[in-house]
Amino acid sequence: MSTKEKNMLGRTLIYIVLTVIGIAFLSPVFIVLINSFKGKFFISEEPFSLPDKDTFAGLENYVSGLEKTGFFSAFGWSLFITVFSVLAIVLFTSMTAWYIVRVKNKFTKALYYVFVFSMIVPFQMVMFTMTKTAGELGLDTPWGIVLIYLGFGAGLAVFMFCGFLKSVPLEIEEAAMIDGCNPVQTFFMVVFPVLKPTAITVAILNAMWIWNDYLLPYLLIGSEYKTIPVAVQYLRGGYGSVDMGALMAMLVLSIIPIIIFYLFCQKYIIKGIVAGAVKG
Amino acid sequence: MALKKYFPVFVLPTLAAFTIAFAVPFILGLFLSFTEFTTVIDAQWVGVSNYIRAFSNADFLNALWFTVRFTVVSVITVNVIAFALATLLTKGLKGTNIFRTTFFMPNLIGGIVLGYIWQLIINGVLRFFDVTITYDPKYGFWGLVILMNWQLIGYMMIIYIAGIQNIPTDLQDASKVDGANRWQTLRNVTIPLVMPSITICLFLTITNSFKLFDQNLALTAGAPSKQTAMLALDIYNTFYGRIGWEGVGQAKAVIFFVIVAVISFIQLALTRRREIEQ
């Protein structure tokens, strides 16, 4: 065999391997999708067959799932909490990071290390005490949880903004100050625009975390305001036998917004992951 | 500098949120692990007895052992497969972006949803043997490993791809000219140069595996009889499932934190040392 033929064969082999793995990666979502259209008693019986005229249930599962979980309100709360938490994290932590990097003293240095330290502490360490503290302070509301997410997200976000800011030259900021800008104006007109790539990374990493977070919203506001993960788990947990049909339909509805978001923002998400990993 | 006076504007909001959400609960948590309490206010100092009870609790030791085994297996499988895929996708073949997109997709789906997706599939397969995932702890264990691989391979692959693309191609060409075979090039050129990616991928997979909760709750919820409960789930069950065990739960949480911190530091120190200046 010539080298050229060998190369061709090698390439074809790689494509075949990648395609097989690709199908393996997509099939779980596909299997849930086909099961969401089957009658609820057929799902556990034969999960890998396509719906036929006996098992096809139309949109029945979707209707009962929406009723049982209040999915639309869960979607609304997930969206509300994610959007406002991410905005708060990006805005406030970038300001804090600028202060830490530009005002160099013992206090800001200590502050920086405390933020970095918080990144490695698992949630279970503060799960009980945080829920109690936040409850006492009346923070068991959707706005309250935004504040809690700001506190929890601060570690990683401050760390990433500081890492980037260290390489930003002082000259432009000083010029703005000399031109009569106060620090707030300087930050928003000069510094923040420079931070945009890091801000996107921070926003994506935090959005992925908060949108999918289960335990914190469940413990803090779960009884009154259900986010999507809490609503899905509630369907499973609450009462006796599980409605597999409704569960499948809700899994599909939970995945759809994520896939749409992913297809539109893919470039930023992948760039953000890489940038986040390098800084981390 | 004028900025210094602007502390209330720039730092206070973040610091206040951080204090309420993290700093106070953290210190309170350390304190409460040495007390017996049900509502925080009624805490009674009991010394290290919670720690003794935690370490003599069979569920906790079982969860610790399960978590360690799970972490070792997942970290190896996820990183080896992710690295292999990254090498395939950086050979300059056309149209590989679609594979990158596909492999990364599961990472965006939340742990609870992932757990139920895989519960359906694994129970579907186990039906051929007339059992379910909660029949034997080994099914739950391998179920979690498969789930973790499905979720994290794409994420780690993206980081490895970025690392491999950073290697100057002349270095690989040079090793070929010097007569190195593929394996030697991989071992002596590629791996040392992607060491920073390996450091971060190991860190992410170790901490994510060790702290796993949502996936564990949704896939098996610890069944059969708590045998597949990992550390985070065991701590949760101790707090919210057993009255009078809050102090022990908090002690378990402190132990959990110390283990995660120590492992992270050791791993970072070990792999950082192998990183070379480019």
* CB-CB under 8 Å, A233 with B112: yes
B269: contact with A, CB 8 A cutoff: no
Give pLDDT tens digits for A18-40. 999 999 999 999 999 999 999 88
Q: Is residue A189 part of a domain?
A: yes
Bridge partners of B44, per DSSP, are: B36
Contact list in A for residue B20 (CB cut-off 8 A) is 133-134, 137, 139, 147-148, 151
Contact list in A for residue B213 (CB cut-off 8 A) is 123-124, 214-215
For residue A148, give the chain B residue with the closest CA.
B21
Per-residue DSSP letter, A18: H
Contact list in A for residue B127 (CB cut-off 8 A) is 44, 47
Residues A20/A32, Cβ–Cβ less than 8 Å:
no
Which residue from A120, A214, A247 is facing B116, i.e. has the nearest CB? Answer: A247
3-class state of residue A38 by DSSP = strand
* Rounded Cα distance, B9 and B3, in Å: 10
* Rounded Cα distance, A179 and A173, in Å: 10
What is the interface pTM, i.e. ipTM, of the complex? 0.91
Contact list in B for residue A259 (CB cut-off 8 A) is 105, 108
* Rounded Cα distance, B100 and A132, in Å: 43
Last residue of a domain, one of A62, A78, A111: A62
B207: contact with A, CB 8 A cutoff: yes
B239: contact with A, CB 8 A cutoff: yes
A170: contact with B, CB 8 A cutoff: no
Transcribe B46-64 into DSSP letters.
Answer: -TTHHHHHHHT-HHHHHHH
The minimum CA-CA distance between A82 and chain B, rounded to whole Å, is 14
Contact list in A for residue B248 (CB cut-off 8 A) is none
Residues B238/B252, Cβ–Cβ less than 8 Å:
yes
Indicate whether A46 and A95 sit together in one domain.
Answer: no
Q: Is residue A18 part of a domain?
A: yes
* Rounded Cα distance, B176 and A158, in Å: 44
Look at chain A and report how many structural domains it folds into. 2
Which CATH number is B190's domain given?
1.10.3720.10
The minimum CA-CA distance between B230 and chain A, rounded to whole Å, is 12
B214: contact with A, CB 8 A cutoff: yes
B22: contact with A, CB 8 A cutoff: yes
Indicate whether A130 and A225 sit together in one domain.
Answer: yes
Per-residue DSSP letter, A72: H
Give the pLDDT of residue A8.
Answer: 85
The domain containing residue A213 runs over which residues?
A: 70-238
For residue A266, give the chain B residue with the closest CA.
B101
Looking at chain A from residue 232 to 271, which residues have their Cβ under 8 Å from any Cβ of chain B? 232-233, 236, 244, 247-248, 251, 254-255, 258-259, 261-262, 266, 269-270
CA angle B87, B211, B137 (to 5 degrees): 90
Indicate whether A229 and A189 sit together in one domain.
Answer: yes
The minimum CA-CA distance between A51 and chain B, rounded to whole Å, is 15
Indicate whether A130 and A230 sit together in one domain.
Answer: yes
* CB-CB under 8 Å, A118 with B110: no
Indicate whether A27 and A127 sit together in one domain.
Answer: no
Q: Is residue B16 part of a domain?
A: no
Give the pLDDT of residue A1.
Answer: 62
Q: Is residue B11 part of a domain?
A: no
For residue B152, give the chain A residue with the closest CA.
A25
The closest alpha carbon to B253, from B237, B232, B229, B226, belongs to: B232
Helices (H), A119-243: 123-136, 142-165, 171-178, 183-186, 192-194, 196-212, 215-221, 228-237
* Rounded Cα distance, A38 and A60, in Å: 9
Last residue of a domain, one of A42, A62, A82: A62
B150: contact with A, CB 8 A cutoff: yes
3-class state of residue B108 by DSSP = helix
Give the pLDDT of residue B39.
Answer: 77
* Rounded Cα distance, A171 and A150, in Å: 31
B159: contact with A, CB 8 A cutoff: yes
Q: Is residue A257 part of a domain?
A: no
**Could you tell me if residue A240 is left (phi over 0), alpha (psi between -120 and 50 degrees) or otherwise beta?**
left
Contact list in A for residue B26 (CB cut-off 8 A) is 118, 121, 125-126, 129
* Rounded Cα distance, B160 and B273, in Å: 19
Residue with tokens 């900025």: B3
Q: Is residue A261 part of a domain?
A: no
Strands (E), chain B: 35-36, 44-45
* CB-CB under 8 Å, B124 with A47: yes
Q: How many CB pairs under 8 A join A and B?
A: 270
Give the pLDDT of residue B58.
Answer: 94
| AA identity, residue A19 | T
Give the pLDDT of residue B278.
Answer: 45
Look at chain B and report how many structural domains it folds into. 1
Q: Is residue A57 part of a domain?
A: yes
Helices A196-212, A142-165: axis angle to 10 degrees equals 140
Contact list in A for residue B32 (CB cut-off 8 A) is 128-129
Structure tokens at B30: 């350390």
Q: Is residue A88 part of a domain?
A: yes
B79: contact with A, CB 8 A cutoff: no
Give the pLDDT of residue A279.
Answer: 55
Give the pLDDT of residue B190.
Answer: 85
Q: Is residue A273 part of a domain?
A: no
A125: contact with B, CB 8 A cutoff: yes
- Counting every residue written for chain B, the total comes to 278
For residue A19, give the chain B residue with the closest CA.
B99
Give the pLDDT of residue B191.
Answer: 87
Indicate whether A7 and A30 sit together in one domain.
Answer: yes
Indicate whether A213 and A75 sit together in one domain.
Answer: yes
Indicate whether A129 and A11 sit together in one domain.
Answer: no
Q: Is residue A164 part of a domain?
A: yes
Could you tell me the CA-to-CA distances from A14 to B85, B145, B183, B229 in Å, in that order? 10, 25, 18, 39
Q: Is residue B40 part of a domain?
A: no
Last residue of a domain, one of A40, A62, A84: A62
Give pLDDT tens digits along chain B (278 positions).
678 889 999 999 999 999 999 999 999 999 999 999 887 778 889 989 999 999 999 999 999 999 999 999 999 999 999 999 999 999 888 888 899 999 999 999 999 999 999 999 999 999 989 898 988 999 999 999 999 999 999 999 999 999 999 888 888 778 878 888 888 888 888 888 899 899 999 999 999 999 999 999 999 998 888 999 999 999 999 999 888 899 999 999 999 999 999 999 999 888 878 776 54
* Rounded Cα distance, A44 and B124, in Å: 7
The domain containing residue B174 runs over which residues?
A: 49-274
The closest alpha carbon to A263, from B97, B193, B76, B4, belongs to: B97
* Rounded Cα distance, A25 and A20, in Å: 9
Indicate whether A228 and A173 sit together in one domain.
Answer: yes
Give pLDDT tens digits along chain A (280 positions).
677 787 888 889 999 999 999 999 999 999 999 999 998 888 888 888 888 888 888 888 999 889 888 899 999 999 999 999 999 999 999 999 999 999 999 999 999 999 999 998 999 999 999 999 999 999 999 999 999 999 999 999 999 999 999 888 888 888 888 888 899 999 999 999 999 999 999 999 999 999 999 999 999 998 899 999 999 998 876 555 688 899 999 999 999 999 999 998 888 888 888 888 765 4
3-class state of residue A113 by DSSP = helix
Q: Is residue B243 part of a domain?
A: yes
Selected residue of B7, B22, B238, B268 to mutate for chain A interface (largest A Cβ count, 10 A): B22
* Rounded Cα distance, B203 and B59, in Å: 27
Q: Is residue B190 part of a domain?
A: yes
Indicate whether A91 and A163 sit together in one domain.
Answer: yes
How many whole angstroms from its chain centre is CA B181?
Answer: 35
Indicate whether A126 and A192 sit together in one domain.
Answer: yes
* Rounded Cα distance, A200 and A269, in Å: 9
Residues B108/A258, Cβ–Cβ less than 8 Å:
yes
Q: How many helices (H) and strands (E) does chain A have?
A: 13, 0
Q: Is residue B228 part of a domain?
A: yes
